[in-house]
Amino acid sequence: MTPFGGFLFTPILSNVLIVSSFRSKNAGCGLDGIDCRSFANETFVFRCPTDCGSVQLLEPYTVGTQQFNYQGFVVGGGLPSQGINPDTRYYRADSFICQAAVHSGVLKASGGGCARLRKTGTQASFAASLSSGIRSIGFDAPFVSSFTVEPLEKEVPCTDLRWTAFGITLAFNIIISLFTTSPTVFYWTLFCSIFWEVAMAGDPPAHATPYDLVAIGATRFLPTAFAGYVLERMVVRRTLQDLNAQIEKTVLWVGACWLGALNDYTFDKWIPISRLTPHDLKQQPGAMAALVIIVVALIVIGVSQAWSIRKEGKMGNYLLFYAFVGICLALMIAIPNVNLRIHHYVLALLLLPGTRIQTRPSLLYQGLLMGLFINGLARWGWDGILQTDLELRNDALLGTLLPKLQDVVVMATNVTVSWAAVKAPWDAVSVLVNDVERYRGNAKSVTFERLTVGQVMQQSLWDSNSTDGSGDPDLFRNEEREKLYIRLGFVDGNTVGDYTRAGVVFPNGTWVAMEAGST
């Protein structure tokens, strides 16, 4: 699943934001995190789907010296910082918001709902804890932005209606399937209803408001419907023409179609393959074994379908078609500096012609592939099948050259970090301190001030403009120096490469060098 939830249009909630987190990792928020401001004094209402506790990271994410992947992501929520209300749970701003809401006890993962997020500025540390079935991650250093989760002041209609929409649409599809023998009526009724159920409720694309959701769905529907028309004329009609087995058609075709259309709850949830790329297959546990099983299953199914096609005497036409497809794929693979990406809709387009026969297995396979086709385009759109390494990896590690650290000098009130000269094609160095970019330039060293925990919390007081008793400056007299996690990465224009692992400056002034590896 992705971090974004999907919801039916509800006018009273038109100002509700649907987000995963409001901070990007590493240098994604710019110098000092300025591109992700404000840091405090802002609230907004957000909405979470059911089962939001199953959202996972899909690429390695670094917190201090720790690295996480293929799991939920909530940082903090344990004991609060010194002088802060002990009943309030504070979360680092890059945490998954809906999972933080579940961890805080404001929402339940099984029901989703709405809550209010309050930005609370800098916190001196974020303690880990286990709450509501979610184990959060600890971070024992300051971070520039944090938030708390609060229940809404009054109850509003905020139920996730995706399963209600699914039930209504499925019942409608079953009635149409049982009482019509027209392939055209059957196909287009199911195609349109399933597309809009997926696009608006079942597995919608990332969006900020319900109006965006409608606009995205309308943009994708017309080209998808055109492709659906070609499939109906060339493939589906041949399988469904003069078919009077209404119950078998309903169980096999409609049932399998919904199995594919609910891909985020069926295949995506249980098959450990996020993307069919060498990068993901190597890093995701169980992905290679799952791929082998899938390939074997496809071979068995392909041989079975080929045997049925041969009995119809049409093997020659299919061999010519798939030979042409194979040549086209080979030519695309041979194009330098780009990668062939097999999306949901591409896989369906490749395999659907093999179901153009009237057998029970063909009904099952055809329905399943049509469901995957609809889900892929309603959720992700017509994403390109040829992508560069950068596009394909998104925010994954790029395998770029890492800066070479030369010296770290820790003084009582500051720390100076020096590195080797920048070499082409890189033109600058980016330095992260406590997972926030604090320097970008082409100098050979940089000096950072070492604040005390009391100074950090005083800064948090200024950020939040607190006027209650919890903001009393006398509470912030801890003179222990803050812990610093330092990482370095190269920059070329606006492109930032991989970062080193974190070296650590401890409060007592001890420096622990970085381990080998990228983050």
What local confidence, expressed as pLDDT, does residue 62 receive? 93
Model confidence pLDDT, tens digit, residues 444-477: 989 988 888 777 766 665 555 544 444 444 545 6
- CA–CA distance, 45 with 47 (Å, rounded to integer): 7
Is-cis flag, bond preceding 38, omega within 30? yes
* Sequence spans of domains, the chain: 11-150, 162-390, 405-512
**Inter-CA distances, 349 with 249, 275, 342, 391, Å:** 21, 18, 10, 23
Low-confidence ranges of the chain (pLDDT < 70): 1-19, 79-87, 155-157, 390, 393-394, 457-478
Euclidean distance between CA atoms 502 and 487, whole angstroms: 5
117 within 8 A of 47, measured Cβ to Cβ: no
How does pLDDT run across 195-249, given as a tens digit for each residue?
999 999 888 888 777 888 899 999 999 999 999 999 999 999 999 998 888 999 9
- Angle at 459 (CA atoms; ends 455, 465), nearest 5 degrees: 140
The class that CATH gives domain 405-512 is: mainly beta
Taking the C-alpha atoms of residue 328 and residue 372, their distance in angstroms, rounded to an integer, is 22
Mean pLDDT of the chain: 85
Starting at the earlier edge strand, list the strands of the sheet with 445-449. Answer: 405-410, 414-419, 445-449
Q: Would you call 370 helix, strand, or coil by DSSP?
A: helix
pTM: 0.82
For the four alpha carbons of 76, 81, 85 and 87, in that order, the dihedral sign comes to positive
Helix 162-179 vs helix 183-197: angle between axes, to the nearest 10 degrees? 180
What phi, psi does 418 have (nearest 5°)? -120, 150
Structure tokens at 187: 């196909």
> How far is residue 311 from each of residues 234, 321, 361, measured CA to CA in Å?
20, 18, 15
Q: What's the pLDDT score for residue 477?
A: 61
381 burial via Cβ count (<10 Å: 0-12, 13-18, 19+): middle
Per-state percent for the chain, helix, strand, coil, to nearest 5? 40, 20, 40
Q: What is the DSSP letter of 473?
A: G
Strands (DSSP E) found in 10-104? 40-48, 61-63, 66-68, 91-92
Write the burial class of residue 110 (CB in 10 Å: 0-12 exposed, 13-18 middle, 19+ buried).
exposed
Contacts of 504 (CB under 8 A, 6+ apart): 64, 65, 483, 484, 485, 486, 511, 512
Strand partners, 116: 45, 150
H or E element at residue 61:
strand 61-63
Token pair belonging to 176: 């149409």
pLDDT at residue 11, rounded to an integer: 31
Q: What is the end-to-end Cα distance of the chain in Å, rounded?
A: 23
70 in the Ramachandran plot: left (φ > 0), alpha (ψ -120 to 50) or beta? Answer: left
- The per-residue pLDDT for 468 is 44
| CB within 8 Å of 194: residues ≥ 6 apart | 169, 173, 257, 258, 261, 371, 374
Q: Which residues contact 253 (CB under 8 A, 6 or more apart)?
A: 177, 240, 363, 364, 366, 367
> Which pLDDT value is given to residue 184?
94
What are the DSSP calls for 183-236, one per residue?
Answer: HHHHHHHHHHHHHHHIIIIISPPP-SSHHHHHHHHHHHHHHHHHHHHHHIIIII
The Cβ of residue 361 has, within 10 Å, a number of other Cβ atoms equal to 14
Paired residues of 492 in beta bridges? 495
> How many residues are there in the chain?
519
Count of beta carbons in the 10 Å neighbourhood of residue 477: 13
Question: How many CA within 13 A on the CB side of residue 18?
Answer: 29
Element (H, E) at 405: strand 405-410
How many other CB atoms are there within 10 angstroms of residue 209's CB atom?
A: 15
Distance, in Å, from the CA atom of 231 to the CA atom of 237, rounded to the nearest integer, reads 8
Eight-state DSSP code of residue 126: B
Distance CA 55, CA 57 (A): 7
- C-beta separation of 271 from 264 below 8 A: no
Residue pair 489/507 in contact by the 8 Å Cβ criterion: no
DSSP tag of 178: H
Q: What is the pLDDT of residue 439?
A: 93
CA atoms within 13 A on the CB side of 221: 18
CATH of domain 11-150: 2.170.130.20
Place of tokens 């990406």: 341
